[in-house]
């Protein structure tokens, strides 16, 4: 798994590449929470285009990110969910809890 962060206008993007599982989800969590808590970014967009499989610990890490973003009153968005990732979020009734977009463009332009 590989994680890269980049700046695009007033948004910070986190590109995740590879599967997110029990062993590397702490890394995803660490980077997301760091951006939100320490760098206090206003808009954090997680790019999951390169993620085929995300397990429960990955979902839980995203939930933590969402929770922290609310307490910091910043935006937390996801895009590029694979059908499998979408199923996982649907099964846990989280698909409507997150701000989910289809493409990077949609996420960047979201009001």
Partner 1 sequence: MSTPDTEKTLSVRDLRVRYGEREILHGISFDVPRGETLVILGGSGSGKSTLLRTLVGLQPATSGEVWIRGQDIAKLSEEDLDETRKKIGLSFQGGALFGSMTVGENVCLPLREHTQLEESTIQIIMRLKLEQVGLAGFENYMPSQLSGGMKKRAAVARAMAMDPEILFFDEPSAGLDPIIAAGIDNLILKLKKAFRMTIIVVTHELASAFLIADSMLLINKGDIVAHGSREEMEKSTHPRVRQFLDRVPEPEVAEEMDYLQMLTGEAPPRAL
Q: E strands within the chain?
A: 2-8, 11-17, 43-50, 75-79, 99-101
- The nearest distance, CB 70 to partner 1, in angstroms, is 14
Whose Cβ is closer to partner 1: residue 3's or residue 107's? 3
Q: How far is the CB of 96 from partner 1 (least distance, A)?
A: 14
- Min dist CB 23 to partner 1, Å, is 8
Q: How far apart are CA 7 and CA 26, in angstroms?
A: 22
Nearer to partner 1, 42 or 91 (CB): 91
Identity of the residue, 78 or 107, whose beta carbon is nearer to partner 1 in the bound complex:
78
Give the strand pairing for 11-17 and 2-8: antiparallel
């Amino acid at each position: 798994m590989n994680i890269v962060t980049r700046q695009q206008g007033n948004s910070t993007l986190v590109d995740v590449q590879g599967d997110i599982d029990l062993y590397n989800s702490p890394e995803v969590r660490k980077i997301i929470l760091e951006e939100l808590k320490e760098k206090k970014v206003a808009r954090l967009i997680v790019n999951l285009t390169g993620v085929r499989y995300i397990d429960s610990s990955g979902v839980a890490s995203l939930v933590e990110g969402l929770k922290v973003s609310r307490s910091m009153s910043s935006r937390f968005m996801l895009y590029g969910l694979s059908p499998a990732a979408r199923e996982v979020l649907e099964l846990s009734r989280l698909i409507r809890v997150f701000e989910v977009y289809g493409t990077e463009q949609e996420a960047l332009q979201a009001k």
